[in-house]
Chains A and B, each alone.
Chain A
Amino acid sequence: MPLSEPLHQAGEHPRDYARLWKERSGGKVVGYFCSYTPQELISAARALPFRIWSSGADISRADSHLQAYSCSLVRGALEDALAGRLDFLDGAAFPHTCDSIMRLSDIWRMNTHFGFHADLVMPVKLNTDSAAEYMTAVLHRFRSDLEKGLGVNITDQRLHEAIQDWNRVRRLLGSLYARRAGDPSSLGAAELHQVFRAAMVMEPRASARALEALIHSLPAAKPDRRPAGVPIILSGGLCGMPDIHQVVEAAGGRVVWDDFCTGARYFEGLVDESEEPVAALARRLLTRVVCPAKHTGIHSRGHYLLDKVRQQGARGVVFLYLKFCDPHAFDHPYLKAMLDEEGIPSMLIEVEDATGAEGQLRTRLEAFMEMV
């Protein structure tokens, strides 16, 4: 089923979408890295939060700033910035996550001229009182950085509305995901992938409208039909994300859940709309599904993965990592061991670049599906 025009356009050509949005609304665009960025605050500043990932273009300019041992997301994003492909940005926000993003922030600040630059130096451990207090303080600071940097006033009222808008988007993504996991034929894998990409760059009200329309138009689930394909969970962090759902399905699998920051980690956990808004934002960041660059306990991610395997009846897990991504690479041996103990087969795919990896993946995935 073809997607509606806005979702298709934003998913397929995110940079064109942002340019057009800017032209039409006269608003500002703030690029951001990582799902720990509170887009709500950017929206409340009347700017468009635009998730940056690499366009996949050849690297030439970034090579004089970043060594070859940094991941392709970091290198690709810098390349895009230096080559002028992100000319529509009015600034960028860098939440503290991995070492590579941390240095990218410095290099970006020193070599680009977008105007606004924000470091959200968030806590790395999230499970103590002092970390919670500090997280809240970081968000307050980001709020005033945005106000100063973009010359706006972020009222509580605006923030509250932005929280509602983004909650709506998250809810809709969640229900779309659930609907589709039950009946993958209802929406193609390529389309699902596009919807996610779109939701990470679109203005939230527009994306909520488009998502609602999409869900309405989906054919009703047929409860008597058992969906085909081996139920699989994806785990990892392709910050740039190739069309992995499609590849898995073509190889005979069916994605029932994922642990991607560009997937379920992005929509799981809502912001409490009844609480003071900044405190509520902080709470969501502290309690949402944790990324490997943050700490809530030494087994958090393993338990989460096992729970999801059980809940979703998955028969295998596919780990998908970007080469040179340290946080994920460190977690893999223990996650695999925990799955092994439960008799859940898993496989690891490491790709150099997020784009164009489909061909080589297909054969390996087919072999895995047969084994499962």
Chain B
Amino acid sequence: MGEDGRVLDPDREKRKIKADKRMREIMAEYYIEAKTPREQRGKPIAWITSGGPVEPLHVMDVIPVYPENYGAMIGASKMGVGLCETAEEMGYSRDLCSYARADIASATVNGGPIGGLPEPDMLICCNNICGTVLKWYEVQARYFNVPLFIFDTPITHTRFDDDMRRYVKRQSKEYIAFLERVCGKPFDQDRMKVVGELSLEGQALWQEILETTMHKPAPMTCFDAFFHLAMIVTLRGTQTAVDYYKMLLAEMRERVAQGIGMLAEEKYRLVWDNIPIWYRMRWLSEKFMARSACLVADTYTSGWTGWLPGADRNDFLGFMGESYARIFLNSGTDLMAENILRMVEKYHADGVVFHSNRSCKPYSLGQYDIQRIVQEKMGIPTLMIEADMVDERSFAESQIDTRIDAFIEMLG
């Protein structure tokens, strides 16, 4: 019997990922430290965008906090609608990104599952994911009246050129100068080396974990990846993340060795595109599982590993700007299509599920073209789900339910 007295399904128990428990503990510890009153905690707090260069913050003993990660938690705990409505009452249009709305509201009412994020001492905004974060962080800079650093990363529509390279390199220096000023202490280059190594190691491990699903049956699904992603987002550059991912990787390898898949039967293998629909993760996961469809890979969680090839381990700050500028979301639609095509091949997928996410224009506009390209080049079925990652009001359950059924029929 489980903790709540329910009878457990032994087959399902066998398939559960054991590391989950440790993951929850680590995340709890992380938020407990961040939420400790300033006087006891000692370390300053920075709010930073999910794709932002976090490593220098660790060097400076600053605790990074991610409003987007919190947005996901708000979504998963189904508190999104309430907070979004609060933001709308404050005058923010319902058409704006629901992470932004949830965060802007949460800051004023201490909302969400942990009663709000700790107040920031500084804000670090990297626009490699969207233009929304610029506006959102401007809002928070006015609200909290703290310094804002903008790391401006030009998009690679078709080329990343030397001018861009120079621009982001110069900004890495400006970023360090900003941190030195705000923290009132010099930047430690030796520590940067250590943190840089840990960051790269964490990313490499995360990539390996994601790749274990190339195996049939896949030892986990992308819904598991969505959960374990929190670590590479929030604790990238720390020993904790490296240790945890080593443990998770070992478990995945063990599952592969024993032939334990996440699904009892894996008939179809699918790729997911875009941010998860946080408030319906369970529903979606079970829906696909019931039809023996395994979501083996996704474009979202692999977004935090994309820059490994270009890394120069001896000069982390030297390549940091370019690496962050060249993440896949900050590239042209055709490059994003190629990324999905590669994934379909690599993971032997039978179809692609697109989440057209009305919150996120850079991720979603262009998806119709990508869908067409996938259909033309791979000849496999695709599904487009129109929804939103946090705002449940944009989720039409019965319609989506029918469309998933029709899609699975097409998989043959």
Contacts and interface: CB of A to CB of B under 8 A. Distances in A.
Interface of A: 64-67, 69-70, 96-100, 102-107, 109-111, 119, 121, 123-125, 128-131, 133-134, 137-138, 141, 292-293, 295, 298-299, 323-324, 326-327, 329-334, 336, 350
B130 A99 contact: yes
Given A103-B361, A323-B95, A326-B95, A124 B134 contact: yes
Contacts of B174: 128, 130
A111 B167 CA distance: 31
Given A121-B155, A123-B152, A99 B163 contact: no
28 contacts: A67-B358, A67-B364, A69-B95, A102-B157, A103-B333, A103-B361, A107-B369, A110-B369, A119-B158, A124-B134, A124-B152, A130-B171, A131-B152, A133-B170, A134-B163, A134-B167, A298-B138, A298-B141, A298-B148, A326-B131, A326-B135, A327-B131, A329-B95, A330-B92, A330-B136, A332-B91, A333-B91, A333-B139
B333 A107 contact: yes
Given A70-B365, A333-B92, 4 more contacts: A98-B131, A129-B170, A326-B361, A330-B138
Query: Main secondary structure on chain A at its contact with chain B?
Result: helix
B163 A141 contact: yes
Q: Which of B96, B142, B161, B372 has the most CB of A within 10 A?
A: B142
Q: Which of B132, B138, B139 has the most CB of A within 10 A?
A: B138
Interface size class of B (residues with CB under 8 A): 35 or more
Given A102-B155, A124-B134, A295-B134, A66 B365 contact: yes
A333 B105 CA distance: 13
A124 B139 contact: no
B141 A124 contact: no
B152 A110 contact: no
Nearest to B337: A110
A34 B90 CA distance: 29
B213 interface: no
Given A103-B361, A103-B362, A134-B166, A125 B91 contact: no
A329 B96 contact: yes
Nearest to A348: B91
Contact of A292 (B97, B135, B157): B135
A324 B167 contact: no
Contacts of A66: 365, 368
Nearest to A106: B333
B240 interface: no
